[in-house]
A and B are shown apart, each in its own frame.
Chain A
Amino acid sequence: MTAALAAASPVRRATAPPPVLEVSDLRAYYQTRYFGIEREVRAVDGVGLHVAPNEIYGLAGESSCGKTTLIKTIAGVIRPPLNVVGGSVRFRFGGGELSVYESGAAALAAIRWRHLSYIMQGSMSVLNPVRRIRHSFVDFAYRHIAKPMPAFWQIVRNHLERLHLQPGVLNAYPHELSGGMRQRVTIALATVCRPEFIIADEPTTALDVVVQKGVLAMIREVQRELGSSLLFVTHDLAVHANLTDRLGIMYAGRLVEEGPTGDIFRAPLHPYTRHLIASLPRIGDEAPKQGLGGTPPNLADPPPGCRFHPRCPLAMPVCREQNPPLLPVAPGRRVACFAVTSETVAGAAS
């Protein structure tokens, strides 16, 4: 692992700390061929983003907007029919650099779990249902922590304690724990090696509201404590509002807006984001809300130009022909819309 990272280029010095993750112009398509019928689904089409150290970057978007494909591609866990067609994904850990699609499988395997770990939606896919939880810790972490057994268990126990879990859970079977508890154990498992980067894919979607809040607080706390970066994906905007520092909104395989979470919720700029935030029902708010007309685009045959234009209230002729680039319009904020420019934003603010 160290060899792989040391071989990479030296980190460039800048005033801001260099990002831990840099994704540029990433394109990942599902390419299938069944009995002569070829299909190409452009699930991720030209996405660029970066995640700074000690930051929670949220990725929001509706079903089949490509967000799950994007994080699969970032984590390097793709397999056919999903193929990376262009662009790059680079991680920067402890002074070394690693490109997911250039450095080779061995280098990627070396950083998994130690530097890069995952929290998934179904805890059962991580925890072996027929073995006690302690075995899962040995399977995933023992090799990476590389300490003798007693020291290893001491580290695990300390870690569980920090996360307010009783060490007794180690002797339980996964089915003996409630859903929320299992998800907490999964989080403990994903963070015990103190990874620099954590990818979380809808980790609380299957949980009840009461439990969800606790699990989110736990994720927040452990991220603070480790100082890791977190890429957090969910379709639930309320979760993003409560957890993330920065937020990227995806629509039909592209990033349409990006900025600090608070700013986006206070003043959404892209028409899609504006609609999403305005349509969120709240307890105590009786104002009638409007749904968004039209239907999400088919990624096998997306509309030309801006993919949102058929449903957009601000659509102009140019939107039908050209794809709007994701451009900075205000400090820290980028929007992909011809109707939103730095002038219009500044004009609206004054």
Chain B
Amino acid sequence: MSAPLLEVDGVGKTYAMGGIFSRQHFDAVADVSFTLDAARPEIFTVVGESGSGKTTLARMILNLVAPSAGAVRFRGTDLATIRGRRQRLAFMREVQPIFQNPFGAFNALKRVDRYLYMTARHFTPARGAAEVEERSDRALRQVGLSLAEIKGRFPHELSGGQLQRVAIARALISQPALIVADEPVSMVDASLRVSIVNLFRALRDELRVSIIYITHDLATAYYISDRLLIMQKGRVVESGDARAVLSHPQHPYSILLKSSVLSPDAAGRDELTASALPLAEDTSVQAL
């Protein structure tokens, strides 16, 4: 195994709950570890429901939140040691995010091409307007768009699928080694979802970008992931080769999760029956 690209080493994040005097703590993420290999780009999926800590984990990898235990190392550098604008820019050049809501990823009152130009100016040697546009166009072509289509457009003039592609193109401009995508298709229409997910695969194979794909959707996870990690309440319950884990889940939670996925093949079979369902999962009044 060559040098690791990303090491997530026993990270945890604890939030204090209640007022100043309360000593209650809440583990959003507890003891999560995994490693991505620099030489072998892959799509690494983190599966979890709301409250599983998957978004907090993503934010720690993006260095937007500092872990309260353990460390995240990118190319051997502990993210906690990053200081100053120069080091932060160097980190962001290599690690870029894609967010959940394509309509929220760009300021509604600004043109979307602006974000592409900004990224090109800050992270590439491009300086002049022509050079910056050239870089933006190249990134847009990698996602099946072109600058001509989006130049001067406001977010509301583009569809959700187009915006999500622009968001991906923006992330690609700096030629990063790792993209962290937090629920990138959960708000994209079904007809476009497959295109976006296919695009991730193309990025991995052609641009050799590793992708951390965070989702609650087991079906797309199965469709594109190489490896996968299932989280529940901040802890990893199962991990391994994506197809193997999803075909034969071992942990009770993974089994429950898989059995809860509604299959489109059930049409007309009327398989939904209340008696077959465990109600225990949420009948109790929660303390939280």
Binding site for B on A (CB under 8 A): 62-63, 164-166, 168-169, 172, 176-181, 208-214, 216-218, 220-221, 235-243, 260-266, 272, 275-277, 279-286, 288-293, 295-296
Contacts and interface: CB of A to CB of B under 8 A. Distances in A.
Given A220-B274, A241-B266, A262-B268, A283 B192 contact: no
A221 B274 contact: yes
Interface residues of B, number: 53
A179 B286 CA distance: 10
8 contacts: A164-B274, A221-B273, A261-B268, A262-B269, A275-B191, A281-B222, A283-B246, A295-B159
Interface of B: 49-50, 158-162, 187, 189-198, 216, 218-220, 222-223, 243, 246-247, 256-258, 260-269, 271-274, 276-279, 281-283, 285-286
Interface of chain B: mostly helix, strand, loop or mixed:
helix
Contacts of B162: 295
A121 to B, nearest CB: 14
Contact of A172 (B265, B282, B285): B285
Contact of B277 (A214, A240, A276, A289): A214
Interface of chain A: mostly helix, strand, loop or mixed:
helix
Most central of A220, A240, A280, A283 by chain B CB within 10 Å: A283
Given A217-B273, A266-B267, A295-B161, 4 more contacts: A218-B274, A241-B267, A279-B190, A282-B264
Contacts of B187: 63
Given A209-B257, A213-B260, A282 B189 contact: no
A264 B268 CA distance: 10
Contacts of A290: 194, 198
Contacts of B191: 62, 272, 275-276, 279, 291-292
Contact of A283 (B159, B219, B269, B274): B219
A166 B283 contact: yes
Contact of B189 (A63, A217, A220): A63
A282 B220 CA distance: 8
B50 A220 contact: no
Contacts of A236: 262
Contacts of B196: 291
A264 B219 CA distance: 21
Contacts of A283: 218-219, 222, 246-247, 258, 261, 263
